[in-house]
Amino acid sequence: MTDTTPDAAFRDPDDLRRRAGIRGDPDRDQHFLVDDRVLDRIPTYLPEDADTTHLLEIGGGTGALTDRLLAVADAVTVIERDPDLAAFLREEFASEVDSDRLTVLEGDALSVDLPAFSACVSNLPYGISSEIAFRLLPEGRPLVLMFQREFGERMAAEPGTDNYGRLSVSAQHYAAVEVVEIVPPDAFDPAPAVESAVVRLTPRAPDYAVDDEAFFFDFVKALFTQRRKTIRNGIRNTAHISGLSEPEAVVEAVEAEDPDLLRKRAGSLAPETFARLAEIADEHGR
C-alpha cells in the first residue's frame, strides 16, 4: 500500500464543513465522510507501485479527502458539481491552487473532459457511482473508490457466488477488483442507510481476447437477465438484448464445441468463458 505523509496535520472534517457552511443532504446524495481514521487510510489503498503524480478525485465535497491526497500527490484535480462547494475548495486550498498543485473543475463528472490523471481516489456519489466507475475503468489507471457495500461486493464477486453477475464480469474485464475496507454508516454525516465499501481496482489486461467490446458487454448483460435459465435457453430468449439475428445458429455452434456448456447457467461462468461464447455468437449469430 502507498504510505501517506507520516506526520501530516490534516484539516478536521467537521471544521471544514463548518467553514463551508453546509450540511449533507441525502436527497442530493451528499454524505460527507467525517471519520479521520477512514480518511487517513483511503489513500494508502493505492497499489504500492501506483503513480501519484496526478491524482483525480470525483466529488471533493468540503475537501477532507482532498487534503489527504495533496499529501501524497504531486498534483490533484477535483471534479465537483456543486458550485458552492467548488468555490469553497478554491478558497480553502487557495495556496495549493495558486501553486498549481490543485485544480478544481466545476461540473458533472459524467460529462466533463477528464484530465490525464495517473490514478483516481474518490468517495463517489452513490447515485451515479456505476456510471462513473465505468467511465474511469477504460482509462486503465489504478482506482480506489467508495461504493455502497453491496455494489462493491458485486464488483469483486467470484463465479459461482450469489453476488456474481454482469457487474462482476464487466468490472473484472478491466481490472483486478478487491474490497479493501467496509465502512460503517456512522463514518458519514448524515449517515447513509447502508454500509459502504472501499474498493481497489488495479488495471490489467484480461487473459482472453474480445474483438467487439460493446457486443461482449451486451451479450453478458443478456445472459444474466436469464441467470436462472441454462445457457441454451438464455441465448435463445435474449436475442432482443444481445442483438443476435440467428440465436439458434449460436446454440448449434456451441453444441458442436462444448455441449456441456449449454447446460450451465450464467452465474457459474468465468469471464473467459463468456468471452468464448461471445466470440461464437459473433461469428454465427449476428
Treating both helix axes as pointing N-terminal to C-terminal, what angle do 271-285 and 213-224 enclose, rounded to 10 degrees?
Answer: 110
Kindly report the length of the chain: 286
Task: Please give the grid coordinates belonging to residue 207.
Answer: 487473459
**Dist CA 9 CA 238 (whole Å):** 56
| CB of 43 closer than 8 Å to CB of 2 | yes
3-state secondary structure of 197: strand
Single out the residue of 145, 69, 59, 61 nearest to residue 108, CA to CA.
59
For residue 200, list its beta bridge partners: 144, 178
Known binding residues for S-adenosyl-L-methionine: 31, 33, 59, 80, 108, 123
Known binding residues: 31, 33, 59, 80, 108, 123
